[in-house]
Amino acid sequence: MLRLPRFSYLRPGSVAEAAQVLSEYGSRAMVMAGGTDLLPKMKRGQIEPEVVISLGHLDELRQIRAVSDGGFEIGACVTLAEVVSSSELRAAYPGYVRAAALVSSPALRNAGTIGGNLCVDTRCNYYDESYEWRKALGFCMKKDGDICRVAPASATCRAIASSDTAPAAMSMQATVVLVGPKGMREVPVASLYQDDGQFYMTKAADEILVSLRMPDPGRWKSSYVKVRNRGSIDFPLAGVAVALQLSGPVVDDCRIIITAVGPQPLDVSHAAQPLLGNRIDDTILEEVAAEAAKPARPLDNADLSYVWRKRMTRRAIEQAVREAAEVA
């Protein structure tokens, strides 16, 4: 049986206490919400904290609250299943809720949290392997080694951004609240990630993501399309979140976020320009998708060929725009 290594398990009584404990232990500790990403990685020796600080039991992180500006604040430890079953959230943010519903399998969504999914580790099939496997190959820079196995010439790790909900949250221009030793700050989800599969998050190691703030959806209609091999369990091979504002059939505004095609989700909304002021038709959509998919850089570190994944990014963009329009 694949087992966890030894660690100490801490169960702080509050977020403040958790933040304090985290700053004490520094890099020797990891916070854990649902554990569905952290625990398999610990079993495979990819992450080796001495201390695991559990957050899942903290009621203050488990609330979905309507806020006065018309948006919602979702606690980091709200499970993906709870998001999926919230009719209010589904009405306001169909793309985000769709993304949550497409994460892994039903049982995993009962444990996996929205905060955990925003922080989900980047993935790579040279990295998501056991200690013995990685030792046999030679380790990679993301853990225990010094080169990128999929792109040996790369100075940075090219593991793949694999959160389904991050692009959906970005498409709504959501923010997250981080709590650290210096107090609390609110940052856009879009600024949480960077183009480095190893250091994929910009938040400081001693900061805890405590909530996701989704702004008033207003006229924004949204969608999320996930490309994967199977209808369940799998991580995205490409993911596209779209938010649209329409006046009748005419597009007023459009945001497009693509993910799983590089180390971070990418805002490619600039490519939607030809749609603005126009009706959605095949020709424009094809042009938009081709432009939007340009920054996609899939590599041979996930399922199926990277050429196909790149092509599917375009298809998924087209589909996501159409679906967002249908929601309208």
Which positions lie near other proteins, rule CB under 8 A?
1-9, 11, 35-36, 39-40, 43-44, 52, 54, 56-57, 81, 104-108, 110-111, 125, 128-130, 132-133, 135-137, 229-235, 303-305, 307-308, 311-312, 315
Q: How far apart are CA 304 and CA 185, in angstroms?
A: 40
Least Cα distance to 90 among 81, 79, 78, 98 occurs for: 98
Q: How far is the CB of 53 from other proteins (least distance, A)?
A: 11
Q: How far is the CB of 252 from other proteins (least distance, A)?
A: 28
**Residue with Cβ nearer other proteins (161 or 177):** 161
Q: How far is the CB of 40 from other proteins (least distance, A)?
A: 4
**Residue with Cβ nearer other proteins (50 or 252):** 50
**Residue with Cβ nearer other proteins (42 or 190):** 42
**Residue with Cβ nearer other proteins (107 or 250):** 107
Find the angle CA(145)-CA(301)-CA(298) to the nearest 5 degrees: 120
Which residues pair with residue 65 across a beta bridge? 73
Q: How far is the CB of 93 from other proteins (least distance, A)?
A: 20
Q: How far apart are CA 109 and CA 86, in angstroms?
A: 14
HSE-CB at 145 with a 13 A cutoff on CA atoms is 21
Token output for 328? 């309208």
**Residue with Cβ nearer other proteins (130 or 278):** 130
Q: How far is the CB of 72 from other proteins (least distance, A)?
A: 23
**Residue with Cβ nearer other proteins (111 or 327):** 111
> How close are the terminal C-alpha atoms of the chain, in Å?
49
Q: How far is the CB of 49 from other proteins (least distance, A)?
A: 11
For 113, phi then psi, to 5°, come to -115, 165
Give burial (CB, 10 Å; 0-12/13-18/19+) of 173: middle
Q: How far is the CB of 141 from other proteins (least distance, A)?
A: 16
Residue 214: which residues within 8 A CB-CB, separation 6 or more?
Answer: 71, 72, 73, 74, 89, 92, 93, 96, 169, 172, 174
Instruction: Name the residue type at position 35.
Output: G
**Residue with Cβ nearer other proteins (5 or 218):** 5
Least Cα distance to 31 among 221, 168, 205, 173 occurs for: 205
Give burial (CB, 10 Å; 0-12/13-18/19+) of 4: exposed
**Residue with Cβ nearer other proteins (1 or 155):** 1
Q: How far is the CB of 149 from other proteins (least distance, A)?
A: 8
